Amino acid sequence: MLEFGKIVLFGVGLIGGSFALALKKANAVEEIVGFSRSPNSLKIAQEIGIIDRAGINPAHEIADADVIMFATPVQQIPTILEKIFPYLKNPNTILTDVGSSKLEIVQQARKIMKGKIGQFVPAHPIAGTEFSGPKAAFPELFQNKKLVLTPLKENKDEFLDRIKLAWRICGAEIFELDPESHDTIFAGVSHLPHMLSFALVADLANRENSNLFFEFAASGFRDFTRIAASDAEMWRDICLSNRYTLIAEIAHFQVVLNNMMAALATNDKKMLEQIFSQASQARNEWAKNKQK
């Protein structure tokens, strides 16, 4: 059923592309018009069927858009919003995003949109891979995954329902958080782990004998560092836009790391075992609950 008319998509990579493919697979959208940074990404996106056509003039395209989605690296979102905002005339057009951090995007959107902020519905799909670009997109990416909305008090229920519907069609389960809680939680379970994984691989890669380390790195290394293969620009933007919360998370983590270092230095078996067994239990519990 055609639930949506025209969707204007800024960013036709893994997330924007998968969203578009899922809606198209469900025959839920009439037309998707794409904008990207490089003509090559747009060409690929059109070949794969993510978009029906490449947009040329954003001002012209957004005039009759049902939904405008921002699926670019997070720091590009306010920049694009600022450029297109003067042309947003239709009060029924819903703007939404998929950014992995929320508070800064919401604050900047408020400054730009002022009285029209109710048209912006912030969202974050909790799904992804370490691959990027339109070729990485696939329609099942969001199946049985969480979608977190961070609704604003100005959002009309009708707008929230439209965005929820789009994500349900993609197969996602909808959750709601406020932007601050969202950023605190994801600093802990996503942004910090990415920092740690990038840090470990960068540290090893910088050593003179890095090839020896990598030669013997095996499955534990593969599991811990899969996310260090992620796109550098995307993660730079996420970490910077959530930097104050992330700095607090790093400080928190450093306390545990220092305790572990002290336990090693003093041969404190009890302390080390206590930290390891608490972590092991929590990880097993988490994995068990995930399978349910």
Site residues, ligand NAP (CB under 6 A): 10-16, 35-38, 41, 71-74, 76, 80, 98-100, 124-125, 128, 132-133, 136, 231, 234, 238
Q: Which residue matches tokens 């794969």? A: 48
Q: Which residue matches tokens 């293969």? A: 229
**Contact 33/67 with Cβ under 8 angstroms?**
no
CB of 67 or CB of 98, closer to ligand NAP: 98
CB of 173 or CB of 273, closer to ligand NAP: 173
What SS3 class is residue 6? strand
Side-chain-side CA neighbours of 50 within 13 Å: the count stands at 32
CB of 223 or CB of 273, closer to ligand NAP: 223
Q: How many whole angstroms separate alpha carbon 198 and alpha carbon 190?
A: 12
3-state secondary structure 41-106: HHHHHHHHCCCCEECCCHHHHHCCCCEEEECCCCCHHHHHHHHHHHHCCCCCCEEEECCCCCHHHH
- Tell me the closest approach of the beta carbon of residue 130 to ligand NAP, in angstroms: 8
- Tell me the closest approach of the beta carbon of residue 222 to ligand NAP, in angstroms: 18
Q: What angle do CA 77, 83, 88 make, to 5 degrees?
A: 100
- Tell me the closest approach of the beta carbon of residue 190 to ligand NAP, in angstroms: 9
CB of 11 or CB of 122, closer to ligand NAP: 11
- Tell me the closest approach of the beta carbon of residue 146 to ligand NAP, in angstroms: 10
- Tell me the closest approach of the beta carbon of residue 48 to ligand NAP, in angstroms: 12
- Tell me the closest approach of the beta carbon of residue 207 to ligand NAP, in angstroms: 28
**Contact 34/45 with Cβ under 8 angstroms?**
yes
- Tell me the closest approach of the beta carbon of residue 63 to ligand NAP, in angstroms: 18
Q: Dihedral angle at the C-alpha atoms of 275, 280, 285, 290, nearest 10 degrees?
A: 120
- Tell me the closest approach of the beta carbon of residue 135 to ligand NAP, in angstroms: 9
CB of 76 or CB of 259, closer to ligand NAP: 76
112 exposure class (CB count in 10 Å sphere: 0-12, 13-18, 19+)? middle
CB of 130 or CB of 268, closer to ligand NAP: 130
CB of 31 or CB of 82, closer to ligand NAP: 82
Residues 44, 47, 49, 51, CA torsion sign? positive
CB of 16 or CB of 151, closer to ligand NAP: 16
